[in-house]
Structure 1
Amino acid sequence: MPDNGPDRGSLLRHEGTDLFDISNEITPPRLPHQRHAYHRMNSQGVVDFAPDRSSKLSGSGVDYDENVGLGITPRAVSITRVPVGSRTTITSPPTPSKSFTPSTGARNSPMSPPTPGSSTQLLSPAPAWQRLDLGNNMLAGGSSSMEGMDEQDNLRNNDDNDNDKKNLLNGCPTSHDIHSSRASWLSISILMLSIYSTIFSGIWLMLAMIQPRYAIISSRGSLSPSTASTLFALLAKTIELSFVTVFVTFLGQVLSRRSFVKASRGVTIPELTMRTWVIQPGFMITHWQHIQHAGLTVLSAITLTAAVVAVFYTTASDALVSPHLKYGKWKSQEMWGLVEASYANQNYIMQNCQTPITTAIDDPTDAGDTCLAMEHAGQAYHNCLEYLDTWTQISKGGEGVSSEISERPSPVAMLFDNTTVTGSWVQTNTSNLTAAYEKYSRIINNVTMSMPHAGVFSAAHDAKNGILQPEDLAGVGEYSIRASVISPTINVLCVNMNSTELAPLVYTEWPNAITNNGDIPNQKIPWSGYEDDIQVQPGQTYLNKTVVDDIFEWGATYGRQPPVFPMLPIDRNSITNITVVNSDSIYLLIKSFSTVNYTVCQIRSFISPVCSTYYNVSGTGQGSLQSHCEDVHDPDAYDKSVQDAPVVSSSDWRSVGQEWALSLSFDSGISSANSSTARLLSQFICYYPPWGAVQLNPLLPSISEVLAVMAGNTLLLATMGSTYYHFWNYTATILDPGVYLNFNASLASQQYTSGPLQRWEGIFYIVLLLVFATNVFCLVYFFLRSGLVTDYTEPANLFAIAVNSPPSERLSGSCGAGPESGQLNVPFHVRQDEGSNHFFIKEGDETGGDFELRQKRRDRQSLKSMTSYSKLSSKRRSFL
């Protein structure tokens, strides 16, 4: 070996010696830098040394004591400085342990402390695998006396090399088998974790796909929203942790088993770090070169996928599985509502009018009527103002709206001050003003309006139907109902007539009428008992005929009596008739200032089967109730649930209409009181316009439209607590207690539901699917294996076998900053010395006599670990 190193002997001189004065000294042999050798201590703390293999370098004055050891006790080599002309002797310090007694022939105690004056301990002998040619190397670069080493020393050194080879792996016999059976705690725990992760990741995937609705999650329910969110997050985290644990174990098993197989390509350093990809995903960024060197293998692809899905699993769970308030799909269901009265039952409506004035104490006879009159007036005026406000905006725009009734503003109302009600214009084919004028040569303003069934509101809030209200969902819940129930409908028919045509219907215009002079010049008013004079002529069934009998459906043909008004009102005034015998209608006679004609309006109600009621509740608690009518494609229309349901006229509504008309002072024209209500209505009367087009005014509502809107509240009161059917099957008109009646409905509610809120969140289905598939794959893998082997990818196991393994030549220079470039591609195998039962890591491409030596020792295998290794190392290479 060339003399390139420093003079080691010069570093070991006595203190005070001139380091440059070497003329009279013998130069000790130069030694290559060696690792400290270690002796293994037994359980009693006694150091167990290898057999003494001292060799004395002849002719050099150097005694070299060489002992092989694997363990933790350092063997230091000391060089004693002697006077000039004498030899320099290399000795080992004696042991401080009282349990060790050196043999009689020992040159020096290996653990004895240095004597005073001796040199400082500096070098220790190299391990066995580094000292195969130590005897020859020690002589290189030594003094001239060492160059004359005799043949006997060479032979001794060669014997030592052979000895070192044989004892290469004798340092760390394993205490336990490298294989653990299925019954071991480790195998059982990993299998249980794998089963748990597989089952729950499958459940999580199923919940995301099925998207169940959790009715139990509510602010008032058994499971609050915050608790449910925490519970789902906790379960998702346990799935993620168990998945990572199971996959890392699977990865360690694959790599460890591959390292045992002699026919395999072994494992590389990047493959050993694959577990870190999953546990610490940022490692893939800081050590990206490991991914490059891992190669495009099946195992690396699976590991990369597992690392990515493990990172995003909790996010995917929060997006697809954790309960969120979400609208569900429309579903058909049967709903129930409490019914206590028939449709438009006046007595029931008065009983339920909210007033502190009671009939029992304060006002026994008229408390209900008074309360109901106030409610009629308040709601009618409110609805009218809301409707006129819409028309105000139209009028300001200047363009107006269509003259087709179906395209004009819808009627509006209010229910319980928190529910906006929207009606529908129906039977629009009879509302064409132009067509009616062409047929009858007069202005006929005919509109029909359907309102939603107010009883649906009560049914939606009834606990029997189990619909979560906004207050049950922290004030943010929403739902929608499409109820297949009847719809209360009102028809307002207003016809313009001149005074001559109107005479048969006005008492003061009859030939034999008893009249008085009114306060208005030329005004005739009836006497106080004029009602007694209104009698059917002998031999007649109906009152006087008129030219409009076919329009109003009066007379024998239709079986309906016409009204009789006491007098003709003055301009901007109105008079009512609410007492027609066996009639279903109330009547209004009104005079407009814009025309010489009078207008007669008939108002009556019936039940429509061609509508459904929509009820929507927003998250703020505000609701909307609307009617949806005459839609042939509406599956929730009442006539779709009850085939051939007829239109049923309601005579009971007339009693409700009477109170409504009186509360609005529609009869004030009898005294020419100039009611503001009548004045406003008279300004909406349709007449023949100067431009000649007979149609609804595009900038103003008609009188029939306004009257229908003002009467809309009567329809809501008529359906509160009333039947949902077009018939009444009970003898009593008021039921106490009430009965629950069912009806068909479609419901779409906002409940806590699994599933994505946005369409783009569907990409997380891939994460849930891959986690479940990977869990299934790992579970099958563990079931197919008879147990687990030692996982050498775990840092503790890897460190233990690495410190007890020979160094790798191909990793030279990596002990400081770690491996780089091509060193990452070096393959390694886990090998076993059968004689000593020692396991170590060996470069995959290293060859030598070790394999042949193990083959010769195969007949001496007796330990269980040796048998396990033999089975594992003889396996065929796996596709992983």
Structure 2
Amino acid sequence: MASPRDDAAENPFLSPADGRSMRSFTADSKNSSRSMLPLLYTQGLLEPQRSGYSITLLLTSLYSTLCSALFFIVALIQPKYGHVVSARGRFSPSSAALLTAFIAKTVELSFVMVFLAFIGQVLSRRAIQQKGINLASVSMRSWILQPGKLFSGWHSVRVAGFSVLGVLSLVTAILSLLYTTAAGALVQPQLRLPPWEHQMLAGQVDGDFSSTLKADKTCLTAWPDVGDTQWGGSTCLAMKWSSLCGRNFIKYMSAWDDQAAATNPAWMSERLLERKPISASLDNNVTVTTAWLDDHDVATESEKAGRIINNITIAVPHRGIPAAARNVQNDLLQPEDLHDGGSYSIHASVASFALNALCVNAKEEELAPLIYTNWPNAIPMEEGSKSVNWWPILGFPEGTNTNNKTVLDDVFGWKDETEDHSRARPIFLKYPKAGNTIANHTQVPYELGDRPEVYLLGKAPDNTTEDYFLCSMKAGITTSCTTRYNASSGGQSLEAVCDDANGKHSDDSAIQPLRSSGDRAALVGWRDLGFNLLNSLSLNNGVFDGDASTARIFTQLQLTQPKLNKTLPSPAEALLSMTTCTVLDLTQNFPFQPFSNTSADDFDTPQMQYFNASVRVAQYMSGGEKSYQKALLVVLALTLLINIFILIYFAVLLRIKLITDLCEPLVLFVLGYHSPPSDGLFAGRPQEGPQKRDMRVDWIVKRKGEQLVVVGMGERDGDLGGEGRGRGGVGGWFRMRRRGGGRGDGDREEGSPEGLRP
């Protein structure tokens, strides 16, 4: 049989620390009262020392503290990762998720590791300092390693759960269960839409409105050179706009079909602001939505004027915003950067185009001063087929004026040419027949002040009314609206956002419009575009009774009552749906702030112009998306606090000098094996394990000979000097005994079969 010295050599944590300690107990009898020496001599066997394990434990605690601090800060500030976590960034979304999960798991494992070491040091020091610990305290380790023990072994929780160390252990057990979940919810990058934030964006501009409206040159850049220097540009525009503008009109008309009317949608209303907004298409992939600028009530204005008045103004969003959003200088995440899962919204404080259409019903005699064929000095046209070229060049020779007063002067603001050339009255060749329209092509020289409007005269088909209707169209610039652009893999939209009925800007991004004093100044240069548009859509074919299909559909919308039709658009709405394409097609590089101190001469070469915007870009970011997920922040905070406390305990209080963890299962097994049986420590049978009453029994570690042993808190040293005769005891748990007796002279050796019998 091995001697006690051999056992001590094999178990260094149970052997004397030096020779002096060995001599202090070898002189005493094994059965004397001094065989169980107090704390001073017990520490000789468990002298705190710095080792590779203690340094590793400190580094583990430091790692757990730093990483938990990092996770807590990240969850608190919710950073946006932008291009860092994207298809072209340093981390792909899957790599970022994997890295976060890996760090969270290592923090969880290191946190449990250092806390178990902390519990072991606290309980071991209490045991050797004769302060006493119980089995319930030792079972705290299983609470953390096996959280199910909190329910299956709830008796230990009742005993030790209300102590300071017990509460700390319970909290740690819960934190170890929830930490990975909390990190996944609050730290792991997730694709989210952050709150709106203000940002200065830049876009390329290369001219003001007048230079941008060189429509023929713009169109010919994408048109083959056929050598038609005179009519090539206008022909290109006619072909282009007949498709673009005509498609917008057809799409708008199709929304008012019978099926939609049967469902009685809210936008089929007599109130303008509630009606369906006018939409268009930009570059065949961006849906453009305009906004109503004024709430002109048809009934009220018609009553004042004594005739039906249909006056509508819309705001068209700035079409340069989509190009600016993709400008590399703005560095915005595009949907393709997030594997087509991203999206963004921009609310830009830029100028918008304002388009106005004013349609007025008038009787034949009221229009007589404006009809050329009614003039006594009118030159007759020889061939109707030549009317387009003949009118107005030959039929309206130099010296002819338009100073014929009408009852419509106040409605349209007309004046004599001698008073204001820009407000001169329009002249039409003749009355259009039913279902036809005629455009006004007369103008005064530019140097005298050209009018900004283009006019269209029409009459409803099938003699549904005796009245004609005269419409004016013009374009301007408004600064009372903003432009909102949304882009995602599902599509793009561009819309104007203007003040609501209460005068408040209905933009949830809190971006404010420019609101310049030059708001809605009419643009003279747009008039030529208006004429090209009417020609391309065959709305001037009434000059030679062309019976164009577009004109027939359009004239069927003529109002016969002083109110908007709930199931059909009004003539003004229809005209605006056609004219929207003119400013969308040709104004991509129009300045964002047109009333700044710049002119056309300043744009010899394209330049960057900045504008205020509110931006919301979907990107990977940390932080809980739902409000209830914020509760998991407590888990990260408590884990950090406990880590800091344990780090201070190891580094400052213990100075990395640790003793053997006596509560570690293998060490506790050896202690129990060498401990003597006791009559009063644990009364239960060892094979049955600890009972409920055993959980409260305090025990300590003392020294017996060359070994450390576990004894009861209240037992005297003299009573513990022998081998022990009572039933139970920690030593008895690890040495199976026969039922009904302690280990005495009559017991068989432990290695015999009978000695193993319970």
Q: Pick the TM interval, shorter chain.
A: 0.7 to 0.9
1:562 maps to 2:425: yes
Matched residues in 2 for 1:526 and 1:644: separation?
41
- What is the TM-score when the length of structure 1 is the normalising length? 0.72
Measured in 2, the distance between the counterparts of 1:351 and 1:334 equals 32
* Structure 1 residue 184 corresponds to structure 2 residue 44: no
* Residue 791, structure 1, aligned to residue 651, structure 2: no
CA distance in 2, matches of 1:45, 1:179: 16
Are 1:829 and 1:841, in contact at CA under 8 Å, matched by a contact in 2? Answer: yes
Tell me by how many angstroms 1:306 deviates.
0.4
Opposite residue 792 of structure 1, the aligned amino acid is L
Tell me the SS of whatever aligns to 1:816.
helix
Residue 202 of structure 2 corresponds to residue 336 of structure 1: yes
CA contact 1:482–1:614 (8 Å) conserved in 2: yes
The structure having more radius of gyration, on CA atoms, is 1
| TM superposition shift of 1:304 | 0.8
Amino acid across the alignment from 1:225 = P
Counterpart CA distance in 1 for 2:293 and 2:439 is 26
| Residue 461 (structure 1) aligns with | 326
Match of 1:648 in 2: 521
Q: State how far apart, in whole Å, the 1-side matches of 2:519 and 2:229 are.
A: 40
Secondary structure (helix, strand or coil) at the match of 2:369 reads helix
Q: Following the alignment from structure 1 to structure 2, what is the Cα–Cα distance between the partners of residues 579 and 230?
A: 72
Could you say what secondary structure the match of 1:201 adopts?
helix
Tell me the alpha carbon deviations over residues 751-798 of structure 1, each in whole angstroms, 9 at most, x when there is no partner. 111111222212211211211121122223222234322211212322
Is the counterpart of residue 841 in structure 1 residue 710 in structure 2? yes
Deviations 1:92-138 (A, max 9, x none): xxxxxxxxxxxxxxxxxxxxxxxxxxxxxxxxxxxxxxxxxxxxxxx
Cα drift, residue 387 of structure 1: 1.8
Q: Secondary structure at the match of 1:379?
A: helix
1:212 aligns with 2:79: yes
The correspondence of residues 444-843 of structure 1 with structure 2, limited to 5 A, is: 444-516=309-381, 528=390, 531-534=393-396, 543-556=403-416, 559-581=422-444, 582-593=450-461, 594-618=464-488, 620-631=489-500, 632-634=503-505, 640-641=513-514, 644-687=517-560, 689=561, 694-727=562-595, 729-730=597-598, 732=600, 735=603, 737-782=605-650, 783-786=652-655, 787-809=657-679, 810-833=681-704, 836=705, 838-843=707-712
Per-residue deviation, 1:229: 1.1
Deviation at 1:609, TM superposition (A): 1.0
Deviations 1:511-545 (A, max 9, x none): 1212258889xxx989936534425768x7x5432
**Structure 1 637/251 Cα, relative in aligned 2: closer, same or farther at 3 Å?**
closer
- SS of the equivalent of 1:789 reads coil
- Contact kept, 8 Å, 2:46 with 2:659, in 1: the verdict is yes
* Equivalent residue, structure 1, for 2:143: 277
Match of 1:24 in 2: none
* Cα separation, 1, equivalents of 2:145 and 2:670: 21
Question: Which letter does structure 2 place at the counterpart of 1:555?
Answer: K
CA contact (8 A) 1:180 1:187 kept: no
- Name the stretch that deviates more: 780-789 or 300-309: 780-789
User: SS where residue 515 of structure 1 aligns?
Assistant: coil
Contact 2:314 2:355 in 1 (8 A): yes
CA-to-partner distance for each residue in 1:123-160, whole Å, 9 max, x for gaps?
xxxxxxxxxxxxxxxxxxxxxxxxxxxxxxxxxxxxxx
Residues 159-197 of structure 1: CA deviation (Å, up to 9, x unaligned): xx9754579679xx999852334x533333222222222
Tell me which amino acid in the other structure corresponds to 1:255: L
Report the alpha carbon displacement of residue 348 of structure 1 after superposing the two structures with TM.
Answer: 5.5
Matched residue SS, 1:601: strand
Q: What is the CA–CA distance in structure 2 between the aligned matches of 1:45 and 1:526, rounded to whole Å? A: 119
1:845-864 aligned at under 5 Å gives the runs 845-849=714-718
Shift of 1:642: 5.7
Asked if residue 382 in structure 1 is aligned to residue 382 in structure 2, the reply is no
Structure 1 residues 41 and 205 mapped into 2: Cα distance closer, same or farther (>3 Å)? closer
Structure 1 residue 297 and structure 2 residue 163: aligned? yes
Structure 1 residues 351 and 204 mapped into 2: Cα distance closer, same or farther (>3 Å)?
Answer: farther
Q: In 2, distance between residues paired with 1:817 and 1:422? A: 80
What amino acid maps onto 2:64 in structure 1?
Answer: S
In 2, Cα distance between the equivalents of 1:638 and 1:310?
45
Distance 1:44 1:178 in 2: 13
| Unmatched tracts of structure 2, length 5 or more | 16-27, 445-449, 723-758
- Higher normalized contact order (CA 8 Å, seq sep 6+, divided by chain length): 2
Letter in 2 for 1:617: A
Contact 1:336/1:740 (<8 A) preserved: yes
Tell me, in whole angstroms, the C-alpha distance in 2 between the residues paired with 1:175 and 1:505. Answer: 118
- Cα deviation for residue 606 of structure 1 reads 0.1
Cα deviation, 1:261-289, whole Å, max 9, x if unaligned, reads: 22x2x111221121222122233344333
Paired residues for 1:421-432 under 5 Å: 421-428=288-295, 431-432=296-297
Amino acid paired to 1:848: D
**For residues 530 and 224 of structure 1, do their structure 2 counterparts lie closer, same or farther at Cα, with a shift above 3 Å needed?**
closer
Aligned match of 2:272: 405
- Check if 1:39 corresponds to 2:12: no
Deviation at 1:211, TM superposition (A): 0.8
Q: Return the letter of the residue paired with 2:426.
A: P
Conservation of the 8 A alpha-carbon contact between 1:569 and 1:590: yes
- Corresponding position: 1:436 with 2:301: yes
Structure 1 contact 433–444 (Cα < 8 Å) conserved:
yes
Unaligned runs of 5+ in 1: 1-36, 47-69, 72-160, 854-880
Instruction: Please give the per-residue CA displacement for 1:614-637, whole angstroms capped at 9, x wherever unaligned.
Output: 11223x241211111124433779
Of 228, 244, 247, 2:115 maps to 247
Match of 1:233 among 78, 91, 101: 101
Deviation at 1:670, TM superposition (A): 1.5
2:189 paired with 1:323: yes
Residues 507, 526 of structure 1: 8 Å contact kept: no
Aligned length: 684
2:575 and 2:645 map into 1 onto residues whose CA distance is: 74
1:152-191 correspondence to structure 2 within 5 Å: 164-165=31-32, 178-181=46-49, 183-191=50-58
Separation (CA, whole Å) in 2 of partners of 1:574 and 1:591: 7
Taking only the aligned residue pairs, the percentage that are identical comes to: 35
Structure-2 change in CA distance of 1:677 and 1:346 (3 Å): farther
Cα displacement string for residues 18-72 of structure 1 (whole angstroms, at most 9, x for unaligned residues): xxxxxxxxxxxxxxxxxxx7535759999xxxxxxxxxxxxxxxxxxxxxxx99x
Partner of 1:114: none
Does the residue aligned with 1:179 lie in a helix, a strand or coil?
A: coil
Q: Shift in Å at residue 735 of structure 1? A: 4.1
